[in-house]
Amino acid sequence: MQIRIERLTKTYANQRGINQIDLTLPEGGLTAIVGPSGCGKTTLLRTLAGLIKPDSGAIRFGGKDVTYAPPQHRGATMVFQNYALWPHMSVFDNIAYGLKLRRTPAAEIELRVTDVLRRVEIDPADVKKRHPQQYSGGQQQRIALARALVVQPHLLLMDEPLSNLDAKVRQRLRVEIRNIQQSFGITALYVTHDQEEALSMADYVVLMNEGRIEQAGTPKEVYYQPSSYFTAHFLGDSHTLHVRRGAEMKRLVVRSCDMTIGSRAEQLPPGSARDYPLAESVEGGWQLTGEVTNHLFIGSSYRHMVRIGSQTFFADADEAYEPGVYRLHLPEERAYWFEPEGQGADTGGRMISGVTA
Ligand SMILES: Nc1ncnc2c1ncn2[C@@H]1O[C@H](COP(=O)(O)OP(=O)(O)OP(=O)(O)O)[C@@H](O)[C@H]1O
C-alpha cells in the first residue's frame, strides 16, 4: 500500500521534533530514514505508528486519512530495537497475540503462525514450549518480525532493529530482513542512524537533519549526488578539507575510497599555504599534494592517513604506501565542492559543480 505523509509537523516544548515532512513511501519498498541523533527519526516513526499525535499535517494509508486513528486501527505494526517480546509467553503465543486479539479462528492462527515462522526461518517444532529468551538475539529479532508480519499489516515500521546485535549478526540480519520484506512485498519504513545500513538495505533513503528532510532518493542518488554539504559529509567515510581552488577558498568533501595515491612528490607545491592546500585541476579531476604519515590494514585494503598542513583525511589503497609526500588524485565526479562555512544555504554550504578554477 502507498503511504503518503503530508506537511507533517510535531513540535515538543523544547521546539524540537519534525517540521513539515512531505514524503511518499513507495509501495512494497523499503524506505530507510537515516540521520544523526535528535534529527527526528523516532518522532516520524512513532507518528506513523499512531503513538504520537502530530500538531498538523496528514498521514494517508492508500488514500485513507489515518492521521488521528488509534494505533490498532491503522494497520501499521512495529519492530523495536529491544525486540519487545513478552518473556512470560511462549514464542507461539507471542506471534499469535495479534491474531487472537482480532478473534481469528484457532485453526487459522495455527496455519498463519507456522507459515510466518517458516518464512523467517525459525523452526516451528517447539515454539509452543520455548520462550523468547531461549533464542539468540538474532532469532529473537526474527520472532519479533514474525509477530509484526503475521497480522498482514499495510506498513511495517522498524526502529533501529539491529542496534542491539553484534556486528556479524547485524550484517547477516540486514540481508535476511531485506529478503523477508521483499518476499512479503510489504511497504516498510526502517529507522537507523547507520548510513551503511540505510544505503545497503533500502530502495529509498531519506536523510533527515534537524527535523526536516535534507535529501531523499535512491541509495545511489543520495550517495553520489549529494545536494548539500550535510549529505556529502554524513554519507560515506567522508572528510572535509578546506582548500584553495584557483583564487578562492572552498570546502571539499573527500571519501576515503575515492582518493588515489599517485607518484611521489619532492615537496608540497610552492605557494601551497601551510593550512590551506592547493587543489590543482588535472585531466579528469583534481590533484592535491599531501604527506602520507602512516597506514592501517583494514582487511580488504590499506587506509592511509594523509596530512596537508593541519588537516588530515584518509585515502584507501590496495597496497601500502611508505610515509612520504605524494600526489593524490580525486576524480572529477567524486569531488564534492562547497562554499566555505557560513556562505550559501543554511544546510551548511552550497554545492558547486563544474571545473571553473
Ligand atoms: N518527548 C519529548 N519531549 C521533548 N523533546 C523531545 C521528545 N522526544 C523527542 N524530543 C526532541 O525532539 C528531537 C527529535 O527527537 P527524535 O527522538 O525523534 O530523534 P532521533 O533522530 O530519533 O534521535 P535518536 O537517533 O537519538 O533516537 C530531539 O531534539 C529530541 O530531544
pLDDT in tens, the chain (357 residues): 889 999 999 999 988 899 999 999 999 999 999 999 999 999 999 999 999 999 999 999 998 999 999 998 899 999 998 888 999 999 999 999 999 988 999 999 999 999 999 999 999 898 999 999 999 988 999 999 999 999 999 999 999 999 888 888 899 989 999 999 999 999 999 999 999 999 999 999 999 999 999 999 999 999 999 999 999 999 989 999 999 998 899 999 999 999 999 999 887 655 555 568 889 899 999 999 999 999 999 999 999 999 988 889 999 999 999 999 999 999 999 999 999 987 654 445 556 664 433
Give 192 Cα–ligand 1 centroid separation in angstroms. 14
3-state helix vs strand vs coil in the chain, percent to 5: 25, 35, 40
344 located within any domain: no
Tally of structural domains, the chain: 2
Mutational pocket test of ligand 1: of 16, 51, 157, the residue with most ligand atoms within 8 Å of the beta carbon: 16
Residue nearest to atom 18 of ligand 1 (CA): 40
Query: Does one domain contain both 121 and 254?
Result: no
Q: What's the pLDDT score for residue 273? A: 53
pLDDT at res. 1: 87
In a domain, 351, yes or no: no
In sequence order, what are the beta bridge partners of 58?
6
What's the pLDDT score for residue 226?
Answer: 95
Q: Based on the fold, state whether residues 179 and 42 are members of the same structural domain.
A: yes
**Residues 166 and 256 placed together within one structural domain of the fold:** no
How much distance in Å is there from the Cα of 180 to the middle of ligand 1? 29
Q: What is the reported pLDDT for 266?
A: 80
Determine the pLDDT at residue 347. Answer: 46
What spacing in Å lies between the alpha carbon of 196 and ligand 1's midpoint?
Answer: 22
Judgement on whether residues 181 and 278 belong to the same structural domain of the protein: no
Q: Phi/psi class of residue 156: alpha, beta or left (left: φ > 0; alpha: ψ in -120 to 50)?
A: beta
CA 48 to chain centre: 18
Residue 29 belongs to domain spanning: 3-230
Q: How far apart are CA 295 and CA 293, in angstroms?
A: 7
Burial class (CB in 10 A: 0-12, 13-18, 19+), 168: exposed
* Cα 173 to averaged position of ligand 1 atoms, centre (Å): 26
On whether the CB atoms of residues 211 and 39 are closer than 8 A, the answer is yes
Domain presence at residue 19: yes
In this prediction, residue 309 carries a pLDDT of 81
* Residues 48 and 189 placed together within one structural domain of the fold: yes
Same domain, 298 and 170: no
- From residue 108, give the alpha-carbon distance in Å to each of 96, 129, 151: 10, 20, 12
Could you tell me if residue 355 is inside a domain?
no
In testing the pocket of ligand 1, which one of 39, 189, 213 has its CB within 8 Å of the most ligand atoms? 39
What does the block give as the cell for 32?
A: 530507510
Helix (H) / strand (E) element for 304: namely strand 302-308
pTM: 0.90
Q: Are residues 148 and 292 in the same domain?
A: no
Output the pLDDT for position 189.
97
Give distance in angstroms: CA of 141 to centre of ligand 1. Answer: 24
Handedness of CA 71, 76, 80, 83 (dihedral sign): positive
Q: Are strands 336-338 and 351-352 parallel, antiparallel or unpaired?
A: antiparallel
What's the confidence (pLDDT) of residue 355?
41
pLDDT score, position 344: 58
